[in-house]
Amino acid sequence: MIHSLNVVMAQLNPLVGDIQANTQLVIDQSLKAAAELNADIILFSELMLSAYPPEDLLLRPSMELRISDGLNRIRQFSKETAAVRDLYIVLGYPSVQGEHIYNMAGVIHQGELIAEYAKQCLPNYQVFDEKRYFDAGTEACVFDINGLPVALTICEDIWEAGPTQQAADQGAKLMLNLNASPFHVGKAAERKQLLSERALQSNMPIIYSNQIGGQDELIFDGGSMAVDSDGTLRTSAPLFEEGLYFAEVEVTRSAEANTISCRVKPGETTADLSEHAAAYQALVLGVRDYVNKNGFPGIALGLSGGIDSGLTVAIAVDALGKDRVHAVMMPFKYTSQMSLDDAAEQAEILGIKYSVIPIEPIYNTYMAALEDEFSGTERDTTEENLQARCRGVIMMAISNKKRLMVLTTGNKSEMAVGYATLYGDMVGGYGVLKDTYKTLVFELSRYRNTISPAIPVRVIERPPSAELAPDQKDTDSLPDYDELDRMLELYIEHDYSADAIVAEGFDKETVYRVVRLVDLNEYKRRQAPMGARITPRGFGRDRRYPTTSGWAIADK
């Protein structure tokens, strides 16, 4: 006998800490899945009720009460609608049991919590801190849906062989995997390969549902999918798109052999995104959710006529719409006419509000006030930094008055070596390009222009310059960005030593200078706004180095 089991992957964007709203989201989407997709099972993401990662909210005494209230509401909903639709609701939540807290997945059916599974593999690397909060489970969870043994696992459990094999050994024929797996470039392909390996290992189909949305610096990209027992991808949801996605499981019973098996029927699959498309969409989602979830009416940013601010403003418009973006050109006597023209052209192309506020009068006032303090000294970077700080004051004044959040425009290459001014161009609430190397800034700018005109070509092609001194170029202070970014990636992403980088063919003096700059400028990065993480190791949660340290001096 053959029958179908309709599974809906709920790829949703919950808000961390808003248990009441997240509970209502579960109820509303369960109704929709049952009514529109004839769902038998709806699979939500890891820690759906609290959203991921709740961090130290987990330590608040009221978290347990709020989660309990949310689960009770969902159970009541399930009981009241059981006569209409026999739906299994599978969702994640933190569960306090005595002195222990578990990262839990539960199954609610006909008003009852019929099964629970505590996550066994607690990640404690890169951006993850789960061992700070959770105790690890030890047991598999296999429950019955109309005679079909179904297992639960949670996110990291699928990255290790043990929990999948444990479930298979206990007779599971289908696995449901709840996820809050953050994005970095190339992550989607890694997940597909992993699920294929686990399905083959266990001879069991796996249905994987992932959270979507921006949460501080983390970006969750969705990409929910269903993989058959032979490792074949049968259905997949698009990246960066919220929604309910359908997978049909064909269940076969053999009365003679007293066996039951299942397979995922071929469904809709979405084409893979290019790395540039995925990175760009991640940055857009990060800005949109950070601004909207924090209740800002829009953003402001300094538009210099350079490529970093040019890409940032394009991302902001794509994230929020042109009516919520205010760009400000703040020229000084070193600002070229080309920069003035290009900034104005881009503002016109994008249709955004655009202001020009010269900083020379403000700068001169500061210099006059500092005349006695600076007496007998030579001009140096102090005067350059003062220009940036004049601009920072202007942007924060606009932010305070209009409640617009300021986006910073510095990229990862600059933040790595400290090519940025504290309380100047680093002023703001969110660093859009904080984890985007300069070479990728160029590539994403070209990519964005393939969608529609957004960034003047001259902005992309001209040599980068901070324009804080006459005829200044970034390469006056830094190696060429192609070379710099390769060194930075080896040091930051792959933990190469300075000598190991030199062995890759780079000049020793240049490598030592770059590595020393990275180490010395940790103090700046600690004071920088958070920004969207799109690489395997971003500054912030990923890379935690001491500000005060003798390491850089003692060991280059």
Residue bearing tokens 């881009």? 346
Per-residue pLDDT at 465 exceeds 80: no
pLDDT band, very low/low/confident/very high, at 327 (cuts 50, 70, 90)? very high
Per-residue pLDDT at 457: 95
pLDDT digits (tens, 9 = 90+) for 304-326: 999 999 999 999 999 999 999 99
Mean pLDDT of all residues in the chain? 94
Looking at 462-533, list the stretches that DSSP marks H as alpha helix, in order from N- to C-terminal side.
Answer: 481-488, 498-502, 508-520, 522-526
Cα 328 versus chain centre, distance? 27
Per-residue pLDDT at 468: 72
Structure tokens at 147: 């005679």
Per-residue pLDDT at 2: 80
DSSP secondary structure code for residue 476 in this structure: G
- Quickly count helices (H) and strands (E) in the chain: 19, 20
Per-residue pLDDT at 544: 86
Give, in order, the Cα–Cα distances in Å from 419 to each of 5, 84, 471, 535: 56, 62, 17, 20
Per-residue pLDDT at 554: 47
pLDDT band, very low/low/confident/very high, at 472 (cuts 50, 70, 90)? confident
Give the residue numbers annotated as catalytic, written as ranges.
Answer: 46, 119, 155
Computed from CA positions of residues 356, 358, 359, 362, in that sequence, does the dihedral angle turn out positive or negative?
Answer: negative
Give the C-alpha separation, 439 to 205, whole Å.
40
Computed from CA positions of residues 319, 542, 417, 444, in that sequence, does the dihedral angle turn out positive or negative?
Answer: negative
Structure tokens at 69: 């209230």
pLDDT band, very low/low/confident/very high, at 253 (cuts 50, 70, 90)? confident
pLDDT band, very low/low/confident/very high, at 443 (cuts 50, 70, 90)? very high
Per-residue pLDDT at 551: 79
Residue bearing tokens 């820690």? 47
Structure tokens at 269: 């699959």
Residue bearing tokens 């995925």? 278
Per-residue pLDDT at 470 exceeds 60: yes
**Model confidence, pTM:** 0.95
Radius of gyration of the chain (CA): 26
Give the C-alpha separation, 330 to 326, whole Å.
13
In order of their start, the domains of the chain are 2-271 (3.60.110.10), 276-554 (3.40.50.620)
Give the C-alpha separation, 283 to 319, whole Å.
9
pLDDT digits (tens, 9 = 90+) for 407-439: 999 999 999 999 999 999 999 999 999 999 999
Per-residue pLDDT at 158 exceeds 60: yes
pLDDT greater at residue 115 or residue 256: 115
pLDDT digits (tens, 9 = 90+) for 55-111: 999 999 999 999 999 999 999 999 998 766 889 999 999 999 999 999 999 999 999
Give the C-alpha separation, 33 to 422, whole Å.
50
To which H or E segment does residue 498 belong? helix 498-502
pLDDT digits (tens, 9 = 90+) for 362-398: 999 999 999 999 999 999 999 999 999 999 999 999 9
CB 161 within 8 A of CB 120: no
Q: What is the mean pLDDT of residues 131-156?
A: 95
Q: Which of 167-176, 208-217, 532-541 has the lowest mean pLDDT?
A: 532-541
Name beta bridge partners: 325: 299
Under DSSP, is residue 197 helix (H, G, I), strand (E, B) or coil? helix
Nearest by Cα to 63 from 24, 113, 117, 102: 102
Per-residue pLDDT at 552: 65
